[in-house]
Amino acid sequence: MNNYNYHPIISIITVNFNGKRFLKDLFNSIAGLEYPRERIQTIMVDNGSKDNSCDFVRENFPWVNILRLDRNYGYSSGNNEGFKIADGEFIALINNDCIVEKKWLSELVNAAVDNVAADKKADKKNCQKFGAVCPKVLFFHSYLPLEFSIDKANAKISNVKITGKSLENNRSAVKLNESIKYLKGFLPVSRDNIGYLSSWTFSKNSLIAIPVFSKNPGFTLEFEIISEFNSSKFEIFIINPEDNENRRVKKVHECVLKDGLNNVCINFNDNLEAYSKDIINSCGLEINRNFYARDRGFNSFDDSQFVNTEEIFSPSGSSMLINRALLDEVGYFDRDFFTYYEDLDLFWRARLKGWKVYFTPYSVVRHYHCGTGREWSYSFTYHVLRNRLIAIFKSGWWFLFFKNCFSFFVSILAGISQYLYSILRGKKQDRPDIRVRLRVFFELFYWLPKKLFYRIMNRRAAVIKDREIKKWFKNF
């Protein structure tokens, strides 16, 4: 981490779709950056919002360049349109539901300059070039870690919600209940009618994290527990996840559960800032041997496990700084990837051409991401399954592609078999995943021929061997 007098022009791009409620916090944080204002170009690409986002930004942040599109083209195409009007030597992407810390941009630039200089000294035969760097992305709120302990078997918990006067009229409290994190020992049972998880089972020593506000510590935690046993002892502790020996810091609730429905209400009136911890959203992406991707450190407490600038496989789309030269050589995001896997697809293509990607812990972003809110909804499942297979087809080796296609086909047959068996037993299951997988399967007959040209170009232009890609495989 060095301090440089060199300040390249940076184009900051954010893509917005009906995100007016987030934009004030985002642009206020950008305005407070420790980076020369005259060296920053800020662009908001609006995907046809209907919530007056453009008027709000034009009135309150006149220094933001607004590119208004006629409809929602998604994350990939939205950023691609921003790339076309960006003037910067480097381009910084930031989600509209983020806020950036003061050194977010300067530390990304420092990491870029460090690694550009290192690449210039490297052996030309190495064919490695600085391509991008991503920050540490934390979830927007700090979290109170709570341990739920029950002494008899499992119990079911539902209708978990946070209330209190301190949260009224607080813009940061939007969808606060969906930000609760069920980290350990909780198994999802059901979803509500819009796809959010609504009930879980849990057992002894299960871990839940409650978002808190340092300025407004008082709140009430309410939930329902269904117990199958009478006289079950139920306890809640504030814990310190960093201390294995003295993990339980304070008991905040104790009761005896009756058989059936139990209503639990806990008031937190103390200042909880001393107990709250940051939780990581992403420190870049990692991949396994089937090219499933996940965020490094996702849903883990920020216990200084990521403290060094290091090379990674790919940045996460929530925030990154990209070398303009990479985009000029490799191209933009695949516009057919409406959302999900567009970042992995671009930087897999880039890595094949010799571009490197880094993570730096000194640059920090806070992301208002609702955790597992609607993961594995129909839309989520469709785009993840489809885009992963297309990305493998475009850039991967044949064995990897056919292995994943075979596994995908087997999963469809297994799902159909389980569904038919449940009907025969008179216990019909709702299996929307089967419809999604069948849709993806038949659509591949359209998408694969369409992407064949890109596969040929990607593989022919590769200067990095597949064995180098395999070195990035992780076990998960």
Token pair belonging to 285? 């992406």
Nearest to 386 by CA among 312, 441, 319: 441
Compute CA distances 31 → 101, 110, 204, 250, whole Å.
11, 19, 47, 40
Residue 126: per-residue pLDDT: 47
One pLDDT digit (tens) per residue for the chain, 476 residues? 555 578 999 999 999 999 999 999 999 999 999 999 999 999 999 999 999 999 999 999 999 999 999 999 999 999 999 999 999 999 999 999 999 999 999 999 999 998 876 666 655 444 469 999 999 999 998 999 999 999 877 889 998 988 876 565 555 454 677 789 999 999 887 776 666 677 888 888 899 999 987 555 678 899 999 988 888 899 999 999 888 788 899 999 999 999 999 999 999 887 788 889 999 999 999 999 999 999 999 999 999 899 999 999 999 999 999 999 999 999 999 999 998 999 999 999 999 999 999 999 999 999 987 543 355 677 888 999 999 999 999 999 999 999 999 999 999 999 999 989 888 888 777 777 899 999 999 999 999 999 999 999 999 999 999 999 999 999 99
Please calculate the CA angle 441-446-450 and round it to the nearest 5 degrees.
130
| Helix (H) or strand (E) segment spanning residue 455 | helix 432-460
Residue at token pair 């897999």: 348
The number of residues making up the chain comes to 476
DSSP symbols for 161-193: EEE-GGGTT-GGGTTGGGG-EEEES-EEEEE-T
The answer for residues whose C-beta is within 8 angstroms of residue 129's C-beta and 6 or more apart is 119, 323, 325, 326, 354, 355, 356
Residue 324: per-residue pLDDT: 97
Question: How far is it, in rounded angstroms, from Cα 34 to Cα 101?
Answer: 9
Nearest to 204 by CA among 161, 242, 233: 233
Token pair belonging to 365? 């972003």
Question: How far is it, in rounded angstroms, from Cα 249 to Cα 237?
Answer: 7
CB contact at 8 A, 89 and 9: yes
Question: How far is it, in rounded angstroms, from Cα 258 to Cα 12?
Answer: 56
CB contact at 8 A, 256 and 247: no
Residue 373: per-residue pLDDT: 39
CB contact at 8 A, 187 and 251: no
Question: How far is it, in rounded angstroms, from Cα 243 to Cα 228?
Answer: 33
Amino acid at 18: N
Question: How far is it, in rounded angstroms, from Cα 144 to Cα 466?
Answer: 43
Largest CA distance in the chain: 72
